[in-house]
Structure 1
Amino acid sequence: MQCHFNGTLLISVLPPLLVTEFLLGILGNGFALWIFCFHLRPWKSSTVLLFNLAMADFLLNMALPFRASYYISKIEWMFGGTLCNICLFMLAVNRSGSTIFLMAIAVDRYMRVVHPHHPINSLSVSKAMCGALALWLLTISMTAHVFTLQHINTTYCESFMIETEPKHNQIWHKFEFIFSFIVPLLVILYCTISIIRHLRGRQLAQHAKIKKALCFITVVAVLFIICFLPSNIMQLLILIKTNQLAKTLPVSQVCPALENLTTVFYITISLTYLNSTLDPVVYYFSSSTIKNICRKVLHLPQTKTDESTEKKTRETGSQSLIVFFSHLLPHINKIPSCNYKKTTTT
């Protein structure tokens, strides 16, 4: 038996949340893709990962208006079964793609800081693109099962169905949802902790620039946990509760007993899309180059990069030396000269 909920609370809560996430995500990630494609040159291997993360977030945001209209219409899907599966697939593949590329970015930072001489740090852009393509193929293969999910009717468009006897594709769908969070979470936490310990071990953590970078890395990890952890906890609770209730209650009473948990789950899963609206902020603060390009495009004052600051310091030092010697030269000219007579010995 499949549970079909009326979703009274979801109808009022989710539409404004999804519309807000759509507007912020489309503007932020669209602007980021424009920067990557037309202003950021040359690309590096890390740029390839950021570009693919922005692409995953942008495609995810494209599906949000359909979900918003679904809840505005009081959980009535009006676009047909085929578009329902396409929409659910876009949400699944790009949500998993976001977590996987965030994990890849964390590994890239870890290798550059903790193992700076490893050959992987010198990967060419073409090899990085091949690696990104492999990650996309992995993500698609993990989420393609969404097209095999069966719905109660053509107007009920959900991928996380609650069933007393779930089918294999539904079990895999929920496993993939949790797996694509747990593994990136563990990797991101490991990379973040290792970077912090490495820099503190070398007594670099008190340096202003390093301290700012450590704070930024920590914030990224915290935001990842805030956006993705609640929905995964709720999904685990639903799986455990469903198994318990199916053994103790009549089938007709299982769905009403799970309605509150399901409502909270759908609210928390909508919060996962919030991560896609925050990623452009990650791009902005992750690189001074990207920051200055954004400020130039938006006609804002440029920030001083480390290179320009160092150059200015060298120029200031050179000017100081010139001024010092210009003041010293007149005094040198006043020093009486010594005449040495050449003596010859016979």
Structure 2
Amino acid sequence: MDSVTNHTLDHCRIPSRPTYRALSWVMVVQFSLGLPLNLSVLYIFIFRFQFWRNRCVFLFNIVVADFLLVVCLPVKVHHYQHNLRRSENNGLCKAMLFMLFLNRGASIAFLIALSLDRYFNVVHLGRRGNIVRTLKTSPTVSVVIWLLLLPLTIPTLVHTFECCNSHGRQVETSYHDVTDTFREVVFFTQIVVPFLVLVYCTVRIVSRLRRRTVGKKSRLRRAVWAVLSVLLVFSFCFLPCTVARAALLSVRLLNLKEAEDVAVQVYDALMVLSYTDCLLDPLIYCFYHSGFKDAYVSTFCPAFLKRKLIEQQCAVSRTNTTTSNRTNTTTGSRSVTVPNIERALWTT
């Protein structure tokens, strides 16, 4: 048993010191930028928007998930700086894994909720029964989502996951085999299924907006970018590490030692890349909440940026005086108002 444990710890040591030193400094930059950014965004949603009243509950939960991720980064930096892929303390290792996977799952879940809400608002505008639109104003729903994520995160506590110790790395028992298989299925399903949902929602929304012949083109383009921003951030942050995880499992099952050392470094590097979502998510807030950028700039940015923002708003208001926000078509003596899809697009 001791030999198995020593083998596990040896495998958790870094295969290349320069690579992991570089990755640790990348996480230092992520933490240095992410901590003040997410704290400032939390301030906006709590004190400026009062998210529980302003239909920003889903966005607020993404900020919370990003903030908890940022808090975990110094521990990862410490490990990489000391030539370890994870902590040698089993309790700390499991706690870190639990936090990282819980926050990742929460971020993905609420991004999907945003996309589904936008999908129903655009593709099924005017239909009754938009459950997502009804439930998104309730903080209770967000609590339920967090609680539902717990059963999917707890398997990371059962058996170490960070060093890919599953399916052959240790002497397997039926218990370990089932646990490891379930964990791997959850890991890949948590990425692949939401990605397919995002692609479907994005394609339907873009198709729906392109068929519109009325409405302000600038707002329609911005609506398209809103749904594309979620898909792009998701694809950039989460898909690469998923592919790397599959490659790592494959080379290890084939017992390719040299290839495994390379695959481990690629996987860890792409996992570090996935932490960048805490820096990219504010771009999504700008697209999904029409007042977020204005509130952030007016609260935290220097005076010259505030003046520039005011000038842009004045220019937009002058343009709006010459362009109608909605188009009316007259049929006989009856006036028919074209549904204002833009209003639904910017209701968060």
- TM-score, normalised to structure 2, is 0.76
Q: 3-state DSSP class of the match of 2:37?
A: helix
Match of 1:180 in 2: 190
Correspondence 1:116 to 2:122: no
Mean Cα deviation higher: 74-83 or 262-271: 74-83
| Distance in 2, Cα, partners of 1:44 & 1:310 | 30
Mean Cα deviation higher: 94-103 or 280-289: 280-289
Deviation per CA, 1:63-92: give whole Å up to 9, x if none: 010001100011176683322211111111
Match of 1:16 in 2: 25
Match of 2:37 in 1: 28
Cα distance change, pair 130–45 in 1 and its aligned pair in 2 (3 A): farther
Match of 1:273 in 2: 275
Q: Map 1:99-178; keep pairs closer than 5 Å.
A: 99-117=108-126, 118-120=128-130, 122-123=133-134, 128-150=138-160, 158=162, 160-161=164-165, 163-164=167-168, 167=176, 168-178=178-188
| Distance in 2, Cα, partners of 1:69 & 1:33 | 26
2:15 corresponds to which of 7, 19, 28: 7
Q: Is the 8 A contact 1:189 1:221 kept in 2?
A: yes
Correspondence 1:264 to 2:266: yes
Deviation per CA, 1:1-48: give whole Å up to 9, x if none: 654453314322211111111122212221111111111046467510
Q: Map 1:1-346; keep pairs closer than 5 Å.
A: 2=8, 3-8=11-16, 9-41=18-50, 43=52, 46-75=55-84, 80-117=89-126, 118-120=128-130, 122-123=133-134, 128-150=138-160, 158=162, 160-161=164-165, 163-164=167-168, 167=176, 168-203=178-213, 207-245=217-255, 254-298=256-300, 299=303, 300-301=306-307, 302-303=309-310, 309=317, 313=321
Q: Is the 8 A contact 1:43 1:125 kept in 2?
A: no
Shift of 1:264: 0.5
| Distance in 1, Cα, partners of 2:53 & 2:63 | 15
Q: Is the 8 A contact 1:53 1:97 kept in 2?
A: yes
Residue 244 of structure 2 aligns to which amino acid in structure 1?
M
Q: Is the 8 A contact 1:10 1:71 kept in 2?
A: no
Cα distance change, pair 78–265 in 1 and its aligned pair in 2 (3 A): closer
Match of 1:343 in 2: none
Q: Is the 8 A contact 1:25 1:277 kept in 2?
A: yes
| Distance in 2, Cα, partners of 1:139 & 1:124 | 18
Q: Is the 8 A contact 2:33 2:279 kept in 1?
A: yes
Residue 28 of structure 1 aligns to which amino acid in structure 2?
L
| Distance in 2, Cα, partners of 1:176 & 1:103 | 17
Q: Is the 8 A contact 1:96 1:180 kept in 2?
A: yes
| Distance in 1, Cα, partners of 2:54 & 2:207 | 25
Deviation per CA, 1:151-201: give whole Å up to 9, x if none: 8xxxxxx35335525633333222222111111111111111110001112
| Distance in 1, Cα, partners of 2:261 & 2:111 | 33
Residue 292 of structure 2 aligns to which amino acid in structure 1?
I
Residue 15 of structure 2 aligns to which amino acid in structure 1?
G
* Identical-residue share of aligned pairs (%): 26
Q: 3-state DSSP class of the match of 2:63?
A: helix
| Distance in 2, Cα, partners of 1:235 & 1:101 | 23
Mean Cα deviation higher: 56-65 or 108-117: 108-117
Cα distance change, pair 100–134 in 1 and its aligned pair in 2 (3 A): same
| Distance in 2, Cα, partners of 1:266 & 1:42 | 35
Cα distance change, pair 60–212 in 1 and its aligned pair in 2 (3 A): same
Residue 138 of structure 1 aligns to which amino acid in structure 2?
L
CA radius of gyration, larger in: 1
- Matched residue count: 298
Q: 3-state DSSP class of the match of 1:292?
A: helix
- TM-score, normalised to structure 1, is 0.77
Shift of 1:115: 1.6
Match of 2:344 in 1: none
Residue 265 of structure 2 aligns to which amino acid in structure 1?
T
Shift of 1:94: 0.4
| Distance in 1, Cα, partners of 2:51 & 2:248 | 48
Unaligned runs of 5+ in 2: 323-348
Residue 241 of structure 1 aligns to which amino acid in structure 2?
V
Match of 1:250 in 2: none
Q: Is the 8 A contact 2:13 2:83 kept in 1?
A: no
